[in-house]
Structure formats: C-alpha cells, structure tokens
Amino acid sequence: MAKKIVIVESPKKAREIQKFLGKDFSVKATIGHFKDLPEKEMGVDLENFDPKFVIKSTNHKKLLSEIKKLAKDAEVYIATDPDREGYAIGYFMYDELKNRAKEIKRAEFHEITPQHVKEMIKKAPKFEETNFGLFEAFLGRRVGDRIVGYILSPMASKEIGGRFSVGRVQSPAVRLVVEREKEIQNFKPTPYYVLSVDLEKDKTQFKAFYHKQKIEDKKTAEDIYNAIKDTKTAVVKDITTKEVKQNPKPPFTTSVLQQVANSQLRFSPEKTMALAQDLFENGLITYHRTDSVRVSPQAIKKIRQFIKEYYGKDYLPARSRVYKSKNTQADAHEAIRITNFVPLEEQEKLIKEKGLTEDHYKLLKLIYQRTIASQMKEALYKRTTATFDINNHTFKTTGSILVFDGYKKVYNIEDKEETQKLPELKKGEEITKTGQHLEEKWTKPPPRYTEGSLVKKLEELGIGRPSTYATIMRTIKERGYVEKEGNSLKPTQMAYELIEYLDKKHNWVVDYDFTKKMEEFLDYVEQRKKDWKEFVQQLYQKTQSVETPVVSKKMLNYALDLAKKHNKDISDILNDPKKLKEFINLYRDTKPTEKQIQYAKALAEKTGLELPEEVLQDKDKIKRWINKAKKEAMKNYQLSEKQKAILIKNGKEELINQPEKALKWLENYFKKRGKRRR
C-alpha cells in the first residue's frame, strides 16, 4: 500500500497527478467541499458564533473513511486549490487526519504539469507551518454569509410577501442591476446634430466632421449646413502627424477573463470558470482563480523564447514586460497563462488529446493570445489630424495607418484604432468637397449590464473576490432577481421589491462601501491581523437593528449653504436625509470652473480625444473626461534620454515603460535633491 498520499478536490485532477507521481503515491479526491454548514438549520451558535460543520453526503462519508484508512501512518500531502476555499477543504481534511497520519504537508499546485507538481511536492512545508488565516477568512465569509441569509431572508419574505433571499454580496449586485434599469427608464433622450462633409484628393475619399461633433441646437446646425452648401472646396488649415504607441494588456486575472469571455465569446462567468477549471486540471493553464497579473520569471523566459522563434525578433521588446497587481498580496499567485509554450495549432491538438470541447479551445485560445501578446512589442500607428476651413467653418478629420502591428499580430480584440486612410495633405491647399450630411441623432441611455460588465463593476467597487464572481452571477439568476435578454441583465419585479425593502429597512446590506469594507476585513483576517469572529459579530449586530439613516454634518452644512444661496426654507427637512439629498441634487451647482474647461480643452488638443459640448457643461462629466484624457496623454508620453538615464542610474529602469509612475518618481527625486542643496 502506498505510504504517500496526495489529496486534491477533483477526481479528474487526481487522475492527471497520479500519472506524474507514479506507484509510490496514491492520489485521492475529496470531490469539492466534503464538509459544510447543515442545509436545513442555521448551524451557528449565536452566543459565540461557533459553527457546526457536517459531512455533506453519504458519498463524502464513504470517501473520507477510505482516505482515513489509507492515511494511517502515511505521509500525507494536502494539495487542494491554492485559495481560501481550497485551503478550507484542506484544513478540514488535516483536522480529520492529524491523529492518524505520520506527517501532513501542504502542497500548492499552480499548474498541473509534471515538473511543477513534483517540485511542489518536494518543497511542501508541514501543514502546521502554513497560514491558518486562510481558514479563518473562509470561516468569516461562510459563517457571516449564513447569518445574514438565515436572519434577513425570512424577514424579507414575511414583510414583502413571497420568497426572497438576502445575501451580503448578492444583494449589492442586484442593487446595481436595479439602479441601472431605473437610470435607463428615467433617461430622457435629447436630439443633437452631426454635420459631416465628404472630401476627395487624388481619388482618395474621406470624411471630415464639424469641429464640435455634437451640435445641440437644430437651427445652428442648419445655418452651418446652408452656409457651406455652395462651397465646393475645403482649405487645409492645419495638419499634425504623430506616432502613437499601443501597449499590450497584462495577462488575464479571473475577473478580466470572465469579462472578455463574456463580451467576445458570450460565455457566462459560470461557464468560463467551468471551462477554465477543466483547462487547469488538464495541465493547459495555470490556476484560474487569481487577481494577479504577475508572470513567473521562468514563464516569461519561455514566452520570450517562443515569440522570438515563432514570430521573429522584431516582435520581441528589448526588456521583458513586468506587470504589477493593484493588490500586492495578489502577487503571491500568477496571472492566468498557458503552460505549454507551443503554437495555436499545437494547443488545439492538446485540447483534442485531452478529450475537451470546441468551447474549451475557444477559451484556451483567448488565454494563449493574451499570454503571448503581453510580452510582445507595442503596436505603432501614424495618426494624422487635419483641420479644414469651409466658408469660415472648421471641420476636422483623423486618419491612422498601422505602421507596425506588434502584439496585435496575436491579440487584436480590444483597443481598435480608427484606420481611415488620408491622402498627402499640405497646409493651405484646397481639397474638393463632394458632399455634405446633416444627421439628427438622439442621446442614448447607459446600456444594461452584461454579466461581464457587472463583474467589472463589482471588482471596481471592491465587492466579491475572484472565487465568488461566477457564484454571484449564478445566484442572482437562479433566485429570479435578473433575467437575461440577449447578453444583457434585466431586473425582475422581485428585484425591485427586494431593493426597495432593503433600502428602507436594512440599508447596510446594499451599501457598496460597507460591503467593500467587509471584503477588506476578510483580507485582514487572512493576514492574521483581525479576528474572524469580530467580522461575524459586526454582521450579526447589523441584522439585529433596523437602521435610521443619519444626516452628516457635511451634508447639513452643504444643504444650508445651498438654501441660503437660492433663498429656500429647509427647516422642516433638516432631519430627513432622503429629502435633504433630493434638495441637494436639485440645487447643487453642476457647472465646471473656467480652469477645468481650459484644462480639458488643452488635453483635447494634446490627445485628439473628442470633447463633447455636454462635458463642458457638467462638473462630474468633465472630471471623468479629464481623468480619461490624462491616461490617454500618458500612453504617448515619451521620457527624455536624460530622464531615462536618471532612472537607470537609480535602479528604476522598470519605470521606463510606465511614464506616469516614472514622472512621479522623478518629481520626488528632484524635490529631495533641491532640499539637500538648500
């Protein structure tokens, strides 16, 4: 009998690993979570929050009994998935075997390949030396979610009438879908007018648009249209040509893979995760639950070697690209990448050999493209912007020519550049005008969320983690809160009723900021900086009180200032946060400052981005536009040779391809130097 036992979750993974390790090992599967809170009762002592975990099924009981027999006096390697959920399954198994096995170790497999599996078995530490904070974070999540669900769901069902479920993370997700639908319903389309001309030179035809792309007033649009009607030529006022670089995106994290697979392949997050699970277990990709964009130095070396051999050295940047995750903790894991550095045709053969499907191949192809592209050279465009005078009215056109495809040779899915071809133009010359068009268009409401864009929004708000996005999507569909229309999510009547109820009675459950703080609390629990029971206690206390919203001092002062400015009496609503908020929204100043307007115009000139008139009229819109334009400006910013030399001299060469960070670092560097001189 084998005296070395390896325990994983899935039978498929067990069979694959058994092949690598041979007859000295026996590889067994737990078949997912074999222990959980009981199905038909709370299973948590509300005095001390101790949970009661039970074996899930008779099948699991049988499996556990078999593993216990095998583990007697054996060397056991618990190799469940390298995340909280996987660690929890491993911890439960450790607890069952610690008095039977000779020794228990913890192995983490980030890819199911022979070399990696053997290496991780060799390096496996004793289970007692691993981070129990992972299990405590699991306890916090599982017990906290059970308390919220078991206390608030019956309450909601009784008070609304019907069968409703409330969840710490699912309910904020439902709120997002409901709020977006209300935005769409309340949206009032307004007309605007787009004026364009057809121009021609040397048999090359192209379009130019009136410099204000959206003309709000119909009469103004018609006056300009009539003013240029009889003019047969356009005079070139100005031409600028610049080289624009487009850098590849980092390799996939879980949420970005779900977003791209949803928009490109129409896969739901659950389907994407099921396919990725199979690809991982068959040794074709690295672990698929991660919020890291880091790739190991060994893998980078292999990717670069592959690019050089398969695409040629012209596609290989001088230095490897290093991507850093927003969350530094995430870098313990790698991004989702391929494990076999072979061409796409070979990847397809591997899919067939493993008996996988066409959908598996489609997802693997996306991961292959993004992995390889992430280490390739940037794409280069020659972008020409020209302005024309037609009877004292300015028109503008942009044309781009792809000079070098770079990473787009492999991954050309997002970041489309307009590639209208322009003829050679000279300042002052006259171009033939062959036609003109005036179109009436209507502003459009924001689009409904797709599963992909909802995952993106949850990630932006800090709600949920890589392992939970797919479950959230499945739950809100199964519970009848959203329906799919095409690829979009539409809230049901139940969703409106639930959110209205929670908004009034238990606002904290659907408060995005509170949910984010709770996720951060669990991260601290994982790092052993916070106690999981404190997390659960906070949630329990919240379920016991129906909150009355409080008016903050800041809100009150702002409302009083507005009332004074607009000569309004608000004495009767000073203690009513809802009515105060409505008053503020009605009277707050939405006009941007002159300084903001001038800065936005300067950025528009610099980046070539369209600056719609509506943006210049709204404080919030102009802020968002400026942030977007600053990022765009940074994409094309070139550091001087002197700046690069300073970075290299100070060991900061990794910032050369990150101009925004480089400029911040250089600013601090010169400040310090200045202080020293003084």
**Residues assigned a catalytic role:** 287
SS3 state at 25: strand
C-alpha distances (whole Å) from 514 to each of 62, 462, 538 are 42, 10, 11
Backbone angles phi, psi at 516, to 5 degrees: -65, -45
Non-local (6+) Cβ contacts of 670 within 8 A are none
∠ at Cα 270 (266, 274), nearest 5°? 105
d(CA 103, CA 95): 12
Q: At 614, phi and psi to the nearest 5?
A: -65, -30
Q: CB burial class (10 A; 0-12, 13-18, 19+) of residue 54?
A: middle
Q: Nearest-CA neighbor of 526 among 141, 89, 41, 159? A: 141
Tell me whether residue 68 is exposed, middle or buried, using C-beta atoms within 10 angstroms of its C-beta: 0 to 12, 13 to 18, 19 or more: middle
Q: Helix, strand, or coil here: 49? A: coil
Identity of the residue numbered 73: D
| CA–CA distance, 250 with 295 (Å, rounded to integer) | 9
Phi, psi torsion values for 382, nearest 5 degrees: -105, 110
Q: First and final CA of the chain: distance in angstroms? A: 77
d(CA 397, CA 199): 10
Q: Which of 359, 235, 220, 368 is nearest to 307 (CA)?
A: 368
Q: Under a CB-based contact definition with an 8 Å cutoff, are residues 198 and 436 in contact?
A: yes
Instruction: Please name the residue that has the structure tokens 């036609």.
Output: 435
* Rounded distance between C-alpha atoms, residue 509 and residue 151, angstroms: 12
The Cα 498–Cα 157 span in angstroms is: 9
Vertex 51 angle, CA 47 and 55, to 5°: 155
H/E stretch holding 65: helix 58-71
DSSP readout, 583-624?
A: HHHHHS--PPPHHHHHHHHHHHHHH-----TTGGG-HHHHHH
Overall size of the chain counted in residues: 678
Torsion, Cα 606 610 611 614, to 10 degrees, reads: -170
Integer angstrom CA distances of residue 644 from 18, 47, 654: 51, 61, 10
Of 503, 509, 500, 475, the closest CA to residue 489 belongs to: 475
Distance CA 365, CA 342 (A): 12
3-state class (DSSP) for residue 332: helix
Question: How many Cβ atoms are within 10 Å of 285's Cβ, its own excluded?
Answer: 27
Cβ contact 4:28 at 8 Å: no
587 token code pair: 């009277």
**By CB neighbour count within 10 A (0-12 exposed, 13-18 middle, 19+ buried), where does 196 fall?**
middle
Mapped onto helix, strand or coil, the DSSP state of residue 286 is strand
